[in-house]
Structure 1
Amino acid sequence: MDKKPFPRRTGARPATGRGPARSRPTQDSRTPPPARDHRPRGPALPPLAAGTLGEALLVASDGLAAVLKGYALNDGLLGLWQAYPDLLPATRGAVQDLLYGTLRDCGRGSFILAKLLSKPLEEPRIEALLLLALYRLETRPDTAHTVVDQAVEAAARLAEGRLKALVNGVLRNALRQWAALLAAADADPAAHWRHAAWWIKAVQRQHPEHWQALLAANNTHPPMSLRVNPRRSSADAYRAELTEAAITFTELAPLALQLDTPRPVSSLPGFAEGRVSVQDWGAQQAAALLDLAAGQRVLDACAAPGGKTAHLLESADIALLALDVEDKRSQRVRDNLARLGLSAEVRTADCRHLDEWWNGQPFERILADVPCSASGVARRHPDIKWLRREEDIAGFATVQAEILEALWQVLAPGGKMLYLTCSVFEEENGRQVARFAARHKDCRRARLPDGTFERHWLPTAQHDGFYFALLEKSA
């Protein structure tokens, strides 16, 4: 999917975490250590049966424990699949469902668990197991007794089996108090809205007319939208392919389609052959707003994973330079372009350090898709709600300002730069742009096609949350 918070290890949860946000937009490439065999020492317990809920809970507890320790979910999943290579496809799906669902419910499960414990747990995987089980109890109450039994079986293989009785007692106590626990959670803002208290307050303050819908949208499953590659197919031809494959969809634009039901990319006709890409409808706005024309020299300054890079190349015959800060992220851009049959210069560099990459030739168009809080795509990256801290917003704003200052130097007179975030917070959006424009007398805020000077799309059932502003440099 497109696009990316910069995953990083915070070492703290949003409600209580303290410490400086990173000032560099780098991705933490560390992954949690591979899972080990957590069965108790002494007489070996048999492994949990393949394909059971207990196995899914045990594996998912490994991934969730990594997030509790401050690792991004993507890193946690990578570690899981490496540690458990023989999982059945159905089990992998169940693990992902448990992880994403539990993290989307961030705040609710931890609130309920705190009500059931006399003191905080010191074993991250036991805490993770309980959070996963509580999520499953709320979303699948018809399987309550199976959930408890299977969670207890998983607990027997964790922490040397010492906390099996605790897991059993907590979950059975939860069942006895379930109605009261849910009522208490509904009465608590963080548990009800499934966001940290600071996040709720910021959204209420900055989006007073839409805050409830915005928070509710972050707790839903994201839509799956496609972008047809006109260099390898046509809108009519690809719609026919979907229809033949019995995949139902809604047309958003001639080359943009939203699937009625998300599905693996491997099942999409023509995906491997580059006829189509998965890209949120909001992210697809960037190419049109940048006002491209054939022959222009274009910079995509924070390009990975390459969805918008590819869309720019599909939209016009341009000379494009794509930058990103890590080799492995730059390689993702190259891989995406290769699949789609597109060509660009891709380099690894921090766009703020001009001496690392700029040859002195100015660009007529720049896409500044800057690192941000990713608060507009939290439903795709639900660990953000757990890991993000209030003080991180100022850290991201600092990086964004540094990027704008650097990129303005390489924009040609008369050129245009599209500033873009996937954030809902004004400090990263309108305030950032207003401050930049005030500092630069040669900066004019250009009108977008709808006549406005900025576009702030909040997450809905059709698209994620994005902010766009087009800046033009005086000739």
Structure 2
Amino acid sequence: MSKPDAHTDKSPSRGIRNDGGLALRAAAARALVPVITGKGSLTQLDDHQVVSRDRALFKALCYGTCRTLPRLQALAEKLLVKPFKARDADIQALLLIGIHQLLYLRIPAHAAVGETAGAARLLGKDWATRVLNGCLRRLQREASDLEAEVDKDPAVAWLHPPWLLKTLRQAWPDDWRAICDANNQPGPMTLRVNRRHGDRDAYLDRLDAAGLSARLCLHAPDGLTLDTPCDVHALPGFEDGNVSVQDEAAQLTAVLLGPILAPRPGSRVLDACCAPGGKTAHLLELFDIDLHAVDSDAVRLARVEDALTRLGLTATLAHGDASEQDWWDGTPFDSILLDAPCSGTGVIRRHPDIKRLRRPSDIPALAALQGRLLDNLWSLLRPGGTLLYATCSVLPEENADQIQAFLVRTPDARATTPTDVAWGRPSGAGRQLLPVIDSQDGFFYARLIKQ
């Protein structure tokens, strides 16, 4: 059984020097409270609440704790005489942060223990310093025995909640171990070169001149993967729109729509559920199209506008629900991209709080929404037009099963997903990519034509 440990974890937080600070750990605990209580996520994590020198470690504590949460929680139960009260979720978060530091980060043990325990004072709970200190010192002494005991539970050993581990084993009996391993490591930082400003070979030289090493993506023609992640502002020409951050799997949207859009300048294209706008921008970088983009989240739609402005691109943006038609002007689309809301099970490594926040009951609800979106958007597509369905999920209920059900109830729909590509694997009428360490995220695509 493979599992991350203090010797194999590839977290970018490894090797980060601890500059100290009770405030750093107190801030991380506050940020984690919504996650461990199931009331919020790390999506809007604000690292500006700590000084700049501590921001990398702050993110490492927050994301690393979420990534290893099942084991941390199991160990916390062993270490505590009795659980903390609900009002002390911030102290529970501090304990989890302390355990993560001792097991996964190269931080001196005295700092991991002393400053984590001391951070309780900044949370106004001096009494907790003694409890945290005792728990963490016990872990120092008994780590091997305690880990061996809690890892008897496969969900703990594989760092996935029981329902999700069971679901992955059923869906991918030959691949679930590799999926879990990939989920438990941070994803690489992959770039998309804006072809309006040059090709990726030229940009690779610019990266080299800036002291940044990268390699070509195997399947995305505009993609480069950095050997070591960096701040986006360190990327040459980032502010001028020369490059964006986007996973290789997400970049394949343009590969699949390219044969339809390239011969037809001015095609009327809809990007449904478009936020945060990576695929929107990529299509505009490559094709001369009339692109309309809709999203139900006004805040995320504003991010799309910001991204397009940085890249010097324009699209018609609409705030609306893609399962309805009140935002539509009545003119059919030549092509539609439906990047459907989904479980995110293909991008857990980038959003590890999914392990805590996602529930098994979410999957049928998401599948029902995806079905409504497909049915509604199909009526907006002209005869002969193409719809590309995409999710960042690895669950068949949202992917192959979803498309099969749509084809059964939609007589004028026919699948045209290519079978002669070197990426992914056939999955029903679509194509499935699974997350791979140091490579692409998990993604599903199905291309459909309206006969």
**TM-score normalized by structure 1?**
0.85
Task: Check conservation: 2:22, 2:122, Cα contact below 8 A.
Answer: no
Residue 196 of structure 2 is aligned to residue 231 of structure 1: yes
Report the secondary structure of 2:440's partner residue: coil
CA drift of 1:334 comes to: 1.0
CA drift of 1:240 comes to: 1.9
Q: How does 1:178-197 map to 2 (within 5 A)?
A: 178-197=143-162
Match of 1:257 in 2: 224
Report the secondary structure of 1:283's partner residue: helix
Whole-Å Cα distance in 2 between the matches of residues 398 and 468 of structure 1? 18
**1:107/1:215 CA distance change after superposition, 3 Å:** same
Match of 2:75 in 1: 112
Whole-Å Cα distance in 2 between the matches of residues 240 and 421 of structure 1? 33
Whole-Å Cα distance in 2 between the matches of residues 263 and 96 of structure 1? 13
Task: Check conservation: 1:296, 1:318, Cα contact below 8 A.
Answer: yes
**1:142/1:322 CA distance change after superposition, 3 Å:** closer
CA drift of 1:387 comes to: 0.6
Match of 1:459 in 2: 435
CA drift of 1:139 comes to: 1.4
CA displacement 1:422-468 (0-9 Å, x = unmatched): 00111101000000110011111113152754210000121100000
Task: Check conservation: 2:385, 2:449, Cα contact below 8 A.
Answer: yes
Report the secondary structure of 1:323's partner residue: strand
CA drift of 1:269 comes to: 0.2
Whole-Å Cα distance in 1 between the matches of residues 195 and 54 of structure 2? 37
Task: Check conservation: 1:289, 1:449, Cα contact below 8 A.
Answer: no
Decide which of 278, 288, 307 is 1:336's aligned counterpart.
307
Give the gaps of 5 or more residues in structure 2: 1-17
CA drift of 1:51 comes to: 4.3
CA drift of 1:119 comes to: 2.6
Q: How does 1:251-400 map to 2 (within 5 A)?
A: 251-252=216-217, 253-290=220-257, 291-293=260-262, 294-354=265-325, 356-400=326-370
Whole-Å Cα distance in 2 between the matches of residues 295 and 371 of structure 1? 28
Which residue identity lines up with residue 22 of structure 2 in the other structure?
G
Whole-Å Cα distance in 2 between the matches of residues 464 and 424 of structure 1? 10
Match of 2:372 in 1: 402
Decide which of 62, 65, 86 is 2:33's aligned counterpart.
65
Whole-Å Cα distance in 1 between the matches of residues 195 and 362 of structure 2? 39
Report the secondary structure of 1:399's partner residue: helix
Task: Check conservation: 1:72, 1:383, Cα contact below 8 A.
Answer: no
Whole-Å Cα distance in 2 between the matches of residues 212 and 321 of structure 1? 40
Whole-Å Cα distance in 1 between the matches of residues 278 and 122 of structure 2? 42
Report the secondary structure of 1:70's partner residue: coil
Report the secondary structure of 2:261's partner residue: coil
Whole-Å Cα distance in 2 between the matches of residues 142 and 383 of structure 1? 23
Report the secondary structure of 1:269's partner residue: coil
The list of structure 1 runs, each at least 4 consecutive aligned residues, that deviate by more than 4 angstroms after superposition, is none
Match of 2:167 in 1: 202
Report the secondary structure of 1:376's partner residue: coil
CA drift of 1:93 comes to: 1.5
Task: Check conservation: 1:423, 1:465, Cα contact below 8 A.
Answer: yes
Match of 2:401 in 1: 431
CA drift of 1:322 comes to: 0.4
Whole-Å Cα distance in 2 between the matches of residues 374 and 254 of structure 1? 24
Q: Percent identity between the aligned chains?
A: 43
Residue 182 of structure 2 is aligned to residue 217 of structure 1: yes
Residue 445 of structure 2 is aligned to residue 445 of structure 1: no
Q: How does 1:164-175 map to 2 (within 5 A)?
A: 164-175=129-140
Task: Check conservation: 1:51, 1:88, Cα contact below 8 A.
Answer: no
**TM-score normalized by structure 2?**
0.90
Whole-Å Cα distance in 2 between the matches of residues 425 and 196 of structure 1? 15
Match of 1:25 in 2: none
Match of 2:450 in 1: 473
Whole-Å Cα distance in 1 between the matches of residues 170 and 225 of structure 2? 32
Whole-Å Cα distance in 2 between the matches of residues 142 and 308 of structure 1? 39
Which residue identity lines up with residue 440 of structure 1 in the other structure?
T
Task: Check conservation: 2:417, 2:431, Cα contact below 8 A.
Answer: no
Match of 1:241 in 2: 206
CA displacement 1:141-196 (0-9 Å, x = unmatched): 77223211112211233343122221122112222221111112332211111110
CA displacement 1:297-351 (0-9 Å, x = unmatched): 1000011111000111112101110001122211111111111111110111111
How many residues align? The count is: 419
Which residue identity lines up with residue 433 of structure 2 in the other structure?
W
Decide which of 63, 85, 103 is 2:66's aligned counterpart.
103
Give the gaps of 5 or more residues in structure 1: 1-49
Whole-Å Cα distance in 1 between the matches of residues 323 and 107 of structure 2? 54
